[in-house]
């Protein structure tokens, strides 16, 4: 005969075997860690196991001494000047000199360790590549440590490729302008810290800090992101901003993966236009 104690142990084992979670609204479902990514997620955020030999890996880390074997290294800040992206001709020159063409299938990885790590620099470069019209570009779902843990080779030197011409097809679609932000046509998301948000923000903005979409240095799973954005409607465009847009890019990237019409903006641009 089962005692109350043994029944409780049995219930705990069954509960754990299904790996369940209880959401903020009390609904029960499978844990985000156990869920498979949707097709849309994999189109933007590629698991280590799904990277193929035809993909070109781009390491955007600063001062990295370890690279995924066969990857090209261009620190993300090489594309920037005074907190903003360089001109399109300058960026395409850098890409072409590194042997990258717009036809390459690119997987971006890396972190800004002086900034505390995390995927924001990679998603920022992803945003840059989409502005250039690059179609086949994704972000690695994981770090170089995850790559090594999966048994894939690491190297002390990055790969050098012959230079090519990078021919962009510029599109401003991922970017929000000052006039667009001010028009009231979109929901504005301030992805800075709650402290910065409380000091000053764009009128009407709501606060979703960039670290709310990241867990253990990687972007949260699909179910968890849906909870983060539960108060946003896909029927309404969204503009995300931080000081320069770097940290906002990880929120913008997450929204795009979920199918939102999202654009990226910067607090710097808002202040500059307000001063005119």
Q: How far apart are CA 105 and CA 43, in angstroms?
A: 12
Structural domain for 12, as ranges: 4-34
pLDDT at site 36: 55
pLDDT of residue 117: 76
Query: Which DSSP symbol is given to 38?
Result: P
Phi-psi region of 198 (alpha: psi -120 to 50; beta: other; left: phi over 0): alpha
Q: How far apart are CA 224 and CA 258, in angstroms?
A: 11
Q: At 208, which CATH number?
A: 3.40.250.10
Residues 75 and 93 in one domain: yes
Work out the end-to-end distance of the chain between its first and last CA atoms, rounded to an integer number of angstroms.
Answer: 80
- Whether 242 is in a domain gets the answer yes
pLDDT in tens, the chain (276 residues): 445 444 333 333 333 333 333 333 333 333 333 345 677 787 999 999 999 999 999 999 988 889 999 999 999 999 999 889 999 999 999 999 999 999 999 999 998 766 667 999 999 999 999 999 999 999 999 999 999 999 999 999 999 999 999 999 999 999 999 999 999 999 999 999 999 999 999 999 999 999 999 999 899 999 999 999 999 999 999 999 999 999 999 999 999 999 999 999 999 999 999 988
Q: Are residues 17 and 45 in the same domain?
A: no
Transcribe 207-238 into DSSP letters. Answer: E--GGGGEETTEEPPHHHHHHHTTT--TTS-E
Q: Please report which residue ranges of the chain form alpha helices under DSSP H.
A: 4-18, 39-44, 88-97, 120-131, 144-149, 178-183, 194-199, 222-228, 246-257, 267-274
- pTM score: 0.86
Do both 203 and 120 map to the same domain? no
Task: Return phi, psi of residue 264, to 5°.
Answer: -105, 145
- Domain count along the chain: 3
The pLDDT, as a whole number, for residue 39 is 75
Domain check: are 23 and 64 in the same one?
Answer: no
Residue 276: per-residue pLDDT: 83
Q: Are residues 122 and 200 in the same domain?
A: no
Q: What pLDDT is stored for residue 34 in this prediction?
A: 36
So what's the pLDDT on residue 21? 34
CA pair distance 203, 109, nearest whole angstrom: 34
């Amino acid at each position: 005969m089962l005692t109350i104690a043994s029944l409780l142990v049995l219930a705990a084992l069954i509960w754990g075997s299904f790996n369940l979670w209880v959401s903020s609204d009390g609904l029960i479902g499978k844990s985000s860690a156990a869920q498979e990514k949707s097709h849309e997620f994999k189109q933007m955020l590629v698991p280590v196991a799904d990277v193929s030999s035809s993909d070109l890996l781009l390491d955007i880390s600063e001062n990295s001494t370890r690279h995924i074997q066969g990857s090209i290294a261009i620190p993300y800040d090489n594309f920037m000047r005074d907190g903003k992206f360089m001109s399109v001709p300058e960026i395409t020159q850098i890409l072409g000199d590194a042997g990258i063409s717009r036809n390459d299938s690119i997987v971006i990885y890396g972190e800004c360790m002086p900034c505390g790590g995390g995927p924001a620099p990679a998603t920022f470069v992803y945003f840059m590549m989409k502005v250039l019209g690059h179609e086949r570009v994704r972000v690695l779902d994981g770090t170089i440590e995850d790559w090594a843990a999966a048994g894939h080779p690491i190297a002390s030197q990055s790969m050098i490729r012959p230079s090519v011409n990078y021919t962009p097809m510029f599109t401003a679609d991922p970017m929000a302008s000052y006039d667009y932000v001010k028009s009231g046509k979109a929901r504005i998301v301030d992805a800075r810290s709650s402290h910065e948000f409380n000091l000053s923000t764009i009128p009407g903005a709501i606060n979703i800090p960039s670290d709310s979409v990241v867990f253990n240095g990687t972007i949260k799973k699909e179910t968890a992101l849906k909870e983060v954005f539960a108060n946003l409607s896909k029927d309404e465009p969204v503009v995300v901003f931080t000081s320069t847009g770097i940290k906002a890019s990880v929120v913008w990237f997450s929204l795009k993966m979920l199918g939102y019409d999202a654009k990226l903006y910067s607090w710097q641009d808002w202040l500059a236009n307000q001063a005119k």
